[in-house]
Amino acid sequence: MKHRILALVLAPMLCLATGCATLKTPHPVAPGSTVNASSFDSGTYNLLLFTKSVIDQTKADLSANPPVFTTLATPIVKQALNALITAYNALDTAYQQYHNAVVAGTATQSQAAAVTSATAQVHGAMTALTTAKTGGQ
């Protein structure tokens, strides 16, 4: 069981560290556009995709039978997951506002700063979830 939890935690990190091809694909600024988004815009989009996959996998792990996490760890993982979902939602909102402004040509520095701040919150929540999944090891 401990090896399975470790694999679940390390697989996404390994993917990020080695640079998954999907996460390196530049994204168009709008559907049908041939203009690629900036690395900031594209990187934030990729972070949202990756975070959503971690959220979905953690939800699946929490409802798995047999359980992936111990009885003691489950409420800690749920709490960390809820914090990640909150951070994800904040990033998604900030990103959508920023991205729509980029497409319209009206993006501001404060919108970019809001995305940067929300990105830091997601990274912190992701770290907390990883710690909860591994029992602080």
Cα distance between residue 61 and residue 82, in whole Å: 14
Cα distance between residue 62 and residue 36, in whole Å: 37
Cα distance between residue 16 and residue 130, in whole Å: 14
For 66-88, write each residue's pLDDT tens digit.
Answer: 999 999 999 999 999 999 999 99
Q: Quick one: pLDDT at residue 24?
A: 56
CATH number of this structure's domain 2-134: 1.20.120
Average pLDDT rounded to a whole number, residues 110-119: 98
Are the C-beta atoms of 68 and 45 separated by less than 8 Å?
no
Q: Quick one: pLDDT at residue 76?
A: 96
Average pLDDT over all residues of the chain: 83
Average pLDDT rounded to a whole number, residues 101-127: 95
Distances (CA, A) of 83 to 25, 28, 68, 99, 121: 28, 30, 20, 24, 9
The answer to whether residue 34 scores a pLDDT higher than 60 is: no
Here the tokens at position 104 are 């319209």
Cα distance between residue 128 and residue 134, in whole Å: 10
Distances (CA, A) of 114 to 2, 4, 38, 42, 96: 38, 36, 16, 16, 11
Domain ranges of the chain: 2-134
Are the C-beta atoms of 125 and 80 separated by less than 8 Å?
yes
Average pLDDT rounded to a whole number, residues 107-111: 96
SS3 helix, strand, coil % of the chain, rounded to 5?
75, 0, 25
pLDDT band at residue 42 under the 50/70/90 scheme: confident
pLDDT band at residue 25 under the 50/70/90 scheme: low
